[in-house]
Structure 1
Amino acid sequence: MLATGCDRRADTGAVVVSAIGSPPTLANPDLRAIDEPSRALIDATAQGLVRFDAAGQIEPGLAERWTVIDDGMTYIFRLRRATWSDGRPVSAEEVAARLKRHVAPTSRNPLVPFLSAIDDVVVMTPEVIEVRLTRPRPDLLNLFAQPEMALLRTRPVSGSGPFRMVQPGPSPLLRPAVDPDRDEADEADRGARPERDVRLIGERAALAVTRFAAKRSDMVTGGRFSDWPLLSAAGVAPANIKVDPAAGLFGLAFTSRDGLLADAGARDAISASIDRTAVLKSVRSQWLPTETLLPDQLDSATPPSVPAWVALPLAQRRQAAAALVRAWGKPVRLRISLPAGPGATLLFTQLATNLAAIGIAADRVAADAPAELRLIDEVAPYDSGRWYLQTACAPCGPEASAALEAARLAPTLPERSRQVAVADATLTRDAAFIPLGRPLRWSLVALRLRLWTANARAAHPLNRLRLDTR
């Protein structure tokens, strides 16, 4: 009955998408704070040079093709014909100017620390721009495909597609933009078919799941571990629940180095005492744990650095950690900052139990409150060990920071790989971060959305959901 119930939505009309968060907006977005609805709206209406397709792979955006030359030091992009939402043509000068703003050191763009190799953006012809680097970056296209790199015009705020906002408001209606390279009859047919439209709703997870369960929406996107328990309570059919194999960081960063936490050995002992399997399975039984910062070798010269305690039984690790806490001779109490939601409550209960086993008391505080341990739950924008290490270093010691800076400034790819390996080993010794697992990202998807594909970026562009929206 569940299997048949999940496919009762008629394959007609606009696709209704609930994104977990606040009502979406394009107005003066603070790129450090955009939540899933605004991120989806920006991605849908303001593409960058390239985009992610349904499988999380690179596809053309404003650039119809590109070439990499000079041993990876120069990217040349040929722009396609495109227009802003008012019909005015997009020019190469506008693209270059907006791209420069995105990568400027003063930009609010959270990707700026990973774009420092960009030296200049130059207009070569009315159709061609050139991005010049000081150091080779083979992963640049994955960064350019992020919604944070979408090219927005500011007065008024608008983009170049692939959608236009035809009904603004808290739940905007989006329609495929006219493509100047398609003939008028084809474009008229595209605009006349409401099933090509998307209604984007930003709302809290409980409302989004309830709406989907009542068959009043076709997709819920932006699901995280904090709201995972809602799915069983809502009785959503298993065929509609999709989990991405998201690559990224999920764990606790030591944000304080005072008292007991000033000692790397103490931080390492606390990390060693966590029963990661029990912690993650309290939220989702299939959630697999990890003990390393890097998920794979990636662009490091060596496999991920493994903490020395991994080979020891958990009971022995806890015994050593408890002895260290007792030797400190003072009560130890740690604040753990977590988001709201039932999944976060389950996670905190397990973490507090684990810490109590070694004599440490724990308090749960809000995600933006001062804390000694702060949850990092981020999907990696590209496959570089430097992103993992830099993101986990919040903060880390001077030796680890110096190793990360050396990796950033490495003039060649082999040297970069060597320095990433050094930074990985140094950060592991520094015990700046407690890795727990990979980020949990889930969606609810009606079977009419036949293009939806699970992927490591957890990227699901709104123009890549149904077969007839290509």
Structure 2
Amino acid sequence: MVSAIGERPAPDWTDPTRLALRPVPADLPARLLLDATAQGLVRFDAAGQIEPGLAERWTVLDGGGSYIFRLREAYWQGGTRVTAEQVVRLLRHRLSPRARNPLAPFLTAIDEIVIMTPQVIEIRLHRPRLDLLKLFAQPEMTLVRPAPAGGSGPLRVATGGRMPSLRPAFDPNRADPGDQRLVQPEETVQLIAEPAARAIVRFVQRRSDLVSGGRFADWPLVVVADLPRTAVRLDPAAGLFGLAIVRRDGFLADPANRRALSEAIDREALVAAIAPNWAGADRILPEALDSGAPPQVPDWSLLTLDQRRAAARARVAAWREPVRLRIALPPGPGSTLLHAQLAASLASIGIVLERVAPEAAAELTLVDSVAPYDSARWYLATACLACGPEAQAALEAARLAPTPADRAARIAEADAAMAGDAGFIPLARPFRWSLVAPRLAAWQANARAWHPLNRLRPDAI
């Protein structure tokens, strides 16, 4: 059994095509189910690397201006064969506004998707992009037809309900297809969506083999649980963990005042209070990636914490009115520790920080997102929840850049504009944990923090 930590009650998964045809879900259990029962042109393997999905191979032409995919022999769950025409139609739907796909803003370079032969399709781009495959491997880009056709595997729903059982789907490309019809009990994966506390207890009682999707908010529960030392696994997740300033009035209308908040925070104490070996971050970009310049480093980074707080305290004192801010955080003991550390840091410069629920009105909100692909534009655009017009214009120029060289230059300018805007406060990189039983020896830590249900055992399909 696999426990996927969910932020909402488990849906009835008797018919996963209903889930797949609605606007793309964001919660982990639904994403895992989509990835298991359907696939796009490509998908992620256990190490977070690209492997074939519906496409058996592909060619990138014109420096990323064209992607040509040769489709393999595949079948929908209902038994009908996958065709190039269906793939093109479903891809176009995934990119349409009605799909409300969160990846759509990073796929705007796509010009058209066309059928070249009954087995070959081409994706043509307005502007060259060399980073599309990792986006196409995301669960949000899986292709599903209405029931009874469904998805194309690699797993299928054997029994539905709120704790669905998944079994290997028939794959004509595997050797000995007759053997596939004899599914062994150990090949079944049972998926359950539940809160972290319940998932941890289930694992401790050996009633599950994997707890997936753990975040900082529930990490203290892991620390106090009676777990084997080898069961706890951490992912080197790439992405953003920080505070977006979403209201820019009053004290926060001035970029220098917004910068004062970031100066005041003791990042070393903050991450140490929540989890061991979690490193803080003071900049948006972890490295240059596809930017034409190194990441922007805040001008206060060489100052001591006392020096930084003295300058920030002077900004607050000059305001001559009490400064009270609200921060929207998810539930969980890790969030309580995070709020305590942030409140102490801001109190040191004269600001009172109040914690509110995730959907409540607030000046600050937490961004905790794993990067779907390795582009500096993703980091900057994700951090820009409410950034100013100059930063927004720089990001738009980066999106529309006609060549890779021009794009790199525009991204560097956007990074500088975001630093000047001071609308995002970096704190660390995303913290992701799993609990893994010894028999799931194929589980691998990776930068995407993504663990496909069909890639957990060494003998998995």
- TM above 0.5: yes
Q: Confirm whether residue 272 of structure 1 aligns to residue 263 of structure 2.
A: yes
Q: Confirm whether residue 253 of structure 1 aligns to residue 244 of structure 2.
A: yes
Match of 1:213 in 2: 204
Q: Confirm whether residue 140 of structure 1 aligns to residue 132 of structure 2.
A: yes
Match of 1:69 in 2: 61
Q: Confirm whether residue 117 of structure 1 aligns to residue 109 of structure 2.
A: yes
1:103 partner amino acid: L
Match of 1:10 in 2: none
User: Distance between the aligned counterparts of 1:157 and 1:225, measured in 2?
Assistant: 39
2:275 partner amino acid: R
Q: Confirm whether residue 99 of structure 1 aligns to residue 91 of structure 2.
A: yes
Range moving further from structure 2, 26-35 or 266-275? 26-35
User: Distance between the aligned counterparts of 2:97 and 2:407, measured in 1?
Assistant: 22
Match of 1:8 in 2: none
**Structure 2 spans left out of the alignment, 5+ residues:** none
Match of 1:13 in 2: none
For the Cα contact (< 8 Å) 1:190–1:196, is it kept in 2? no
1:124-135 counterparts in 2 under 5 A? 124-135=116-127
**1:164 shift after superposition:** 0.6
For the Cα contact (< 8 Å) 2:63–2:129, is it kept in 1? no
Deviations for 1:139-169, whole angstroms, at most 9, x for unmatched residues? 0000000000011113457211000101111
Change (3 A) 1:98 1:359: same
Q: Which ranges of 4 or more aligned residues in structure 1 deviate by more than 4 Å?
A: 29-33
Aligned residue for 2:88, secondary structure, equals helix
User: Distance between the aligned counterparts of 1:178 and 1:155, measured in 2?
Assistant: 17
**1:172 shift after superposition:** 0.5
TM-score normalised over the length of structure 2: 0.96
Select 2:5's aligned residue among 20, 24, 30. Answer: 20
User: Distance between the aligned counterparts of 2:379 and 2:148, measured in 1?
Assistant: 36
**1:42 shift after superposition:** 0.5
1:80 partner amino acid: R
User: Distance between the aligned counterparts of 1:187 and 1:213, measured in 2?
Assistant: 38
Identical-residue share of aligned pairs (%) = 59
Select 2:38's aligned residue among 46, 60, 68. Answer: 46
Aligned residue for 2:459, secondary structure, equals helix
For the Cα contact (< 8 Å) 1:176–1:191, is it kept in 2? no
1:56-455 counterparts in 2 under 5 A? 56-156=48-148, 158-182=150-174, 185-189=176-180, 191-455=182-446
Deviations for 1:3-43, whole angstroms, at most 9, x for unmatched residues? xxxxxxxxxxxxx1000013254324555643111110000
1:288 partner amino acid: A
Change (3 A) 1:229 1:71: same
**1:187 shift after superposition:** 4.0
Aligned residue for 1:64, secondary structure, equals strand
User: Distance between the aligned counterparts of 1:70 and 1:328, measured in 2?
Assistant: 55
Match of 2:451 in 1: 460
Deviations for 1:173-215, whole angstroms, at most 9, x for unmatched residues? 00011112235x5443563312111111111100100000111
Deviations for 1:302-323, whole angstroms, at most 9, x for unmatched residues? 1110010101111111111111
RMSD, aligned α-carbons: 1.3
User: Distance between the aligned counterparts of 2:426 and 2:182, measured in 1?
Assistant: 48
User: Distance between the aligned counterparts of 2:182 and 2:301, measured in 1?
Assistant: 58
User: Distance between the aligned counterparts of 2:375 and 2:111, measured in 1?
Assistant: 20
Deviations for 1:411-440, whole angstroms, at most 9, x for unmatched residues? 000110111111101101110100000100
Change (3 A) 1:407 1:231: same
Number of residues of Structure 1 aligned to a counterpart in Structure 2: 454
User: Distance between the aligned counterparts of 2:31 and 2:351, measured in 1?
Assistant: 39
**1:361 shift after superposition:** 0.8
**1:263 shift after superposition:** 0.4
